[in-house]
Amino acid sequence: MKYRYLLSAFSAMLILELTASACLFAQGNLELKTGVVKEITKKGRLTKMTIEDDQGGEYEISLTPKVDFQILAPGDKGFVTKGAYIQGEGVMTNKRIYLSDVTIFVPLSGKKISKRGGIQKAPAQAGRSTNSYLVAGTIVAHQPDEDYPDYELVALREAPRGPYLMLEKNVKITVSTTDTSILPENAKIRMQVIPLRSGKFTLKKATISLTSPLKSDEVLTGKKK
């Protein structure tokens, strides 16, 4: 019963998020802004950023809990570790889900990922396998597969009886974090905003995509080499 509830909650949460964004764009209420981060300031738990947009304008944004903020960067297999939160889409074969592309969420020090997880059959879509599944959850165990040692066998807390995940040999790993201390100068930022009559806007989502890979032995230990 608990497992079934987790699946339903995960599916409902994903559908609501995608539907809400689609509706805002369709209604013309959501606009895209791009720019670079010029300065980062912190006061208590609040982080603020000074942004220079593509037209040369400069303004400040606040990363409140209501803003969906994330920093994305390539990562290595060291991020696949017990306690990490993993998300991706894979294909079910012989009761195992094979993934070639996953995202690992890395929380700030002392914090936990509050996302719900589960394994849900992916909605029908042109070009998508009928055996595709959306997976998300906390890793409780992982090891090289006995029959295919180049593949990493992963078990999720949300699916104690399986199916297990199989990360392919050359799996693409994207790291998602909110740790602004890792940002280089003039990092590019992409924002989804709701414009207001005053010329200002309400920030809904902000994403910074880095090209330089993050090293698990530095990020997870907090020690740069």
User: pLDDT, tens digit, for every residue of 49-71?
Assistant: 999 998 888 999 999 999 999 99
3, pLDDT greater than 50: no
Which structure tokens are listed for 186?
A: 């003039």
Above pLDDT 90, what percent of the chain?
69
Residue 26 lies in a domain: no
Contact 144, 151 (CB under 8 A): yes
**Within-domain flag for 185:** no
Task: Give the pLDDT mean for 94-121.
Answer: 87
Residue 145 falls within a domain, yes or no?
Answer: yes
Please give the model's pTM, rounded to 2 decimal places.
0.82
Look at residues 220, 215, 187 and name the one whose alpha carbon lies nearest to residue 71.
Answer: 187
Mean pLDDT of the region 95-122: 87
pLDDT band for 138, please (50, 70, 90 cuts).
Answer: very high
Task: Give, rounded to a whole angstrom, the gap between the first and last alpha carbons of the chain.
Answer: 47
pLDDT recorded at residue 5: 46
Cβ partners under 8 Å of residue 197, min gap 6: none
Give yes or no for a contact between 86 and 101, defined as CB atoms under 8 angstroms apart: no
Q: Is residue 186 part of a domain?
A: no
Backbone angles phi, psi at 8, to 5 degrees: -65, -40
Q: From CA 134, how far away is CA 88, in angstroms rounded?
A: 6
206 within a domain of the structure (yes/no): no
Q: CA separation (Å) from 121 to 2, 118, 194?
A: 18, 10, 33
Query: pLDDT-based confidence at 126, cuts 50/70/90?
Result: very high
pLDDT of residue 197: 81
pLDDT of residue 2: 47
* Residue 87, domain extent: 76-177
pLDDT > 50? residue 6: no
Which pLDDT value is given to residue 26? 46
Residue at 191 is within a domain: no
- Number of domain units in the chain: 1
- The reply to whether 225 falls in a domain is no
Token pair belonging to 203: 């920030």
**With b meaning 16 or more CB within 10 Å and e meaning fewer, what string describes 184-201?**
eeebebebbbeeeeeeeb
Output DSSP code: residue 78: G
Domain contains 4: no
Mean pLDDT on 115-132 = 92
The length of the chain, given as a count of residues? 225
159 Cβ partners below 8 Å, 6+ apart?
Answer: 3, 118, 119, 137
Q: Is the peptide bond before 163 cis (omega within 30 degrees of 0)?
A: yes
Confidence at 112, pLDDT banded by 50, 70, 90: confident
Q: Per-residue pLDDT averaged across 151-157, rounded?
A: 96
Hey, what are 121's tokens? 């059959």
